[in-house]
A and B are shown apart, each in its own frame.
Chain A
C-alpha cells in the first residue's frame, strides 16, 4: 500500500514537471507570435493603457534589482507600467532613452522619427545596427527595444511632427521626451506640450556639450519662458556641421531616461526649474537654477498670444531638419559645376583651388593640389593667411603670363561656405590681394565625390 502511494506521488511529480515545461513552451511560442511591429505613417487613436493589478512572477524577477529600491518599489513599478512616453526623435538621445525606458518596464513607448538609418548615425544612435541602414529609424528602434523587453508596447511612427499632427499625438501620451535635432521642432514640441498640459523632458547635445531641463512641469518654465526668441538660423550649429562625440548624447539621453522614470514612477523630477549642463571636455556637470514660469510667456503665460500651433519653420527661419540648408548667395556666372571643374583640371588650365573648410575637415579628405584657408580666417583677414594667398596668386600670375585677373576656384564640403568665401574674396580682390576672378564650385567636395570621383570619401 505504502509502496503504491509512493510510486503515485513520483508519477504525479513527473506529470507536474511535464505540465510546467509545456506551459513554459507555450508562453515562449505565444511571445514569438507577438504581432509584427506596425510602422505608423500617421497619427491614429490608441486604446487607453490599462493598469496592471499586480506584478507577475516574471515581472518580479525581471525588475527585482530596481524593486529593491525604496524610491521605486512595487508601487513605482506598477506606475511605470501604466505610463506612456512619446520619444520625439530616435537618434543620439532617443536611442539610449528608449532603451532604458523599455528595460525599466515603461508601459507604452511611442517612437517617432521621419528619417532612415545611415552609416554616419551608428557612432551615437546605438539601437540601430549595420543591417538597419536605409530602414526607418522608428521601426529599427522599436525592434531593438522589443528584443530587450517584449512586454513594453512599442508604437513606431515614421512621420515628421508638424503643427497639424502634434496635438493629436501628444495628447495620447503622459510624458513627452524631446530628443529632436532642430530648433523648429523644439518650439513645436514645447507649445504642443503646454497646450496639452504634458511634462516635457528635453535634452540636447552638440560636440562635447549637453543640456537637460524638464519644461512645463509643476509651475516651472516652458522652453519659451527661457528662450522667447529662436536663435538666428546662421548661428545654429547642428551635429552634421559641428560634429558630436557619440557618448555625449548617450549621457544626456540616459539623464533624460532618469527624469522620465522619476516622473513616471511618481517620485517626481528634480529638473523642473533647473538647467543641467554637461561639459564633456572637463567632465563636469553644472546646474543653473531657473525662474518659475513667466506670466508674460507667449504660450504658458497669463495672456498667451500662442493659443494654437503655428508655423514653426517660419517662426525660426529654418527647416525642421538637421540636414544642411543649401544657400544661394551667388549669381549663376559666379559658380561652376564639379564637372566644369573636372574639365579645367583635364585641360591643365592654370588656376588656384582654395579649400575654405576648417583644418579638422581638411584632415579627413582634400584634393591634393588645393590650398587650405578656412573661411573664418578669410573673414577675420588673418594676415599670415592673406600673405600666403597673395603669394599663390603671384605665382599663378607668372604661369598665366600676366593674366590680370587669374582664376581662383573656391571649394568646401557642400558649397555653402565656399559661396560666402567668394563674396569675401571679391571684396579683397584688387585691394587686399591682386585682382582675381573668383568662382564657387557648386555642391563642393560631396558633389565631387558623387559625380566625378566615387573613390573620394564622403562624410
Chain B
C-alpha cells in the first residue's frame, strides 16, 4: 500500500539557484517510491531543475541513490539532498 510521508529536501550549489530555495522543510512524498519518481516529483515542484538532469547527485538519508527503478522506503523527517557538482576553486 502506498502512504504519504513528509521529508525535508535540501538544495545545494546550482540547484539552490534554480529552485530559489536552499531547503524545503516539509515535502509530502508517497512511499515506497522509485528514485526516478522522487526526482520527477522534485522536477514538478521546480521545473528549472531539469537543467541538471543526469548531472546531479541525489541523496536520501545522506546516502547516494542512483536515479532509476531503485525503490526507496521513506519515513517522516527523512533528508533528501540534491547535489550538483561545484567546479570553482
Contact = CB atoms under 8 A, between A and B. Distances in A.
Interface of A: 89, 91-94, 178-183, 186, 203-206, 209-211, 226-232, 234-239, 242, 244, 249, 275, 277, 279, 281, 286-291, 322
Contacts of A322: 88
A186 B87 contact: yes
Top 10 A-B pairs, shortest CB-CB distance: A206-B88, A204-B86, A93-B89, A288-B59, A181-B89, A239-B88, A289-B63, A183-B87, A290-B64, A231-B55
Nearest to A230: B55
15 contacts: A180-B89, A205-B88, A206-B88, A227-B55, A229-B54, A230-B55, A231-B87, A234-B51, A238-B87, A239-B88, A249-B88, A275-B57, A277-B83, A288-B62, A288-B81
Nearest to B60: A288
Given A206-B13, A209-B12, A289-B64, A235 B51 contact: yes
B85 A227 contact: yes
B64 A211 contact: no
B88 A181 contact: yes
Nearest to A179: B89
B60 to A, nearest CB: 10
A291 B64 contact: yes
Among B13, B14, B57, find the residue whose CB has the most chain A CB atoms closer than 10 A: B13
A269 B60 CA distance: 24
Contacts, number: 100
Contacts of B54: 228-229
Given A92-B89, A183-B87, A226-B57, 9 more contacts: A181-B89, A204-B85, A209-B86, A211-B83, A227-B55, A232-B55, A238-B87, A288-B62, A288-B63
A288 B83 contact: yes
Nearest to A279: B12
A206 B86 CA distance: 7
B66 interface: yes
Contacts of A92: 88-89
Contacts of B72: none
A289 B62 contact: yes
A211 B85 contact: yes
A287 B63 CA distance: 8
A182 B87 contact: yes
Among B18, B54, B86, B89, find the residue whose CB has the most chain A CB atoms closer than 10 A: B89
Nearest to B66: A291
Nearest to B54: A229
A203 B85 CA distance: 10
B28 to A, nearest CB: 23
B52 interface: yes
Contacts of A242: 88
B35 to A, nearest CB: 12
Contacts of A210: 86
Contacts of B18: 235
B52 A235 contact: yes
Interface string B41-78: 00000000001101101010011101000000000000
